[in-house]
A and B are shown apart, each in its own frame.
Chain A
Amino acid sequence: IAGITQAPTSQILAAGRRMTLRCTQDMRHNAMYWYRQDLGLGLRLIHYSNTAGTTGKGEVPDGYSVSRANTDDFPLTLASAVPSQTSVYFCASSPSGSFNEQFFGPGTRLTVL
């Protein structure tokens, strides 16, 4: 059982470049999420999707975009990376319902120079 996979594991990126972080889940969960984790700030929600075909903005959406063409995949795109987007990015998924826990991927460590 894979659960949630993220790719790449880590990446060093030049500022101004475009980058897509990939996230795939095999649990058929309706909801998916992207977070960034920064020291002292915990996890902050970037974008979410409650079901395939819909997306919503989280707490820190600026500079990021997402799409949800199907249930399994939820890519996060940085159109033009900036150094402040250096972070660890986590994808998560959950069944519908606020009482359900979220399941997390292993994370992508992104450095923007």
Chain B
Amino acid sequence: AQSVTQLGSHVSVSEGALVLLRCNYSSSVPPYLFWYVQYPNQGLQLLLKYTTGATLVKGINGFEAEFKKSETSFHLTKPSAHMSDAAEYFCAVSAAGNQFYFGTGTSLTVIP
């Protein structure tokens, strides 16, 4: 079985500060991991994904995430927050059967 835990339902950072959104997963098989972003009143957009290969994955808008198998983590980071980064972020895990399991989301607020 697969599941995702996102630590912190709300995160606030100052503009220009480091963004760190935490995601831990459980999976009985090697997982595929995803981060999505949702802007107000919109659907989800893919930020980045890990399937195989390099464990540090770079995505759109300057975001990146590192797959750490030993810690069962896939935390999302961005060196310098921008006002436009304010949104809801979802971590998801996928394994056999095409099904995704989403975390409950983290709302990011960027303070000017």
**How distant is B89 from chain A, measured CB to nearest CB, in Å?**
11
Contact B90 A94 (CB under 8 A): no
CB of B43 within 8 A of CB of A105, answer yes
With both beta carbons as reference points, the residue of chain B lying nearest to A48 in the complex is identified as B99
A 17-46 binary contact with B (CB < 8 Å = 1; else 0)? 000000000000001010100001111110
Report the minimal beta-carbon distance from B79 to chain A, rounded to whole angstroms: 24
B44-60 interface mask toward A, CB cutoff 8 Å, 1 = contact, 0 = none?
Answer: 11100101100000000
Does residue B98 face the partner (Cβ distance < 8 Å to A)?
yes
Interface bracket on B: 20 to 34
Q: Beyond A42-B90, A42-B102, is A98–B97 a contact (Cβ under 8 Å)? A: yes
**Of the candidates B94, B95, B105, which one forms a contact with A42 in the assembled complex, judged by CB atoms under 8 Å apart?**
B105
A31 touches B98 (CB 8 A): yes
Roughly how many angstroms separate A48 CA and B94 CA in the complex, as a whole number?
Answer: 14
| A58-B99 contact given A42-B90, A90-B44, CB 8 Å threshold | yes
Contacts A48-B99, A104-B45; is A98 near B32 (CB within 8 Å)?
yes
Q: Which residues of the partner chain B approach A48 to less than 8 Å between Cβ atoms?
A: 98-99
B98 interface neighbour in A41, A42, A94, A106, Cβ under 8 Å: A94
Point out the residues of chain A lying under 8 angstroms from B97, CB to CB: 50, 98
Q: A97 to B46: give the CA distance in the assembly, Å.
A: 16
Nearest chain B CB to A93 CB, angstrom units: 11
Which positions in A face B, CB cutoff 8 Å?
4, 31, 33, 35, 40-45, 48, 50, 58, 90, 92, 94, 96-99, 101-107
A sample of 9 cross-chain residue pairs with beta-carbon separation below 8 angstroms, ordered by A number, consists of: A43-B90, A48-B98, A50-B98, A92-B44, A96-B98, A98-B97, A101-B34, A104-B43, A106-B42
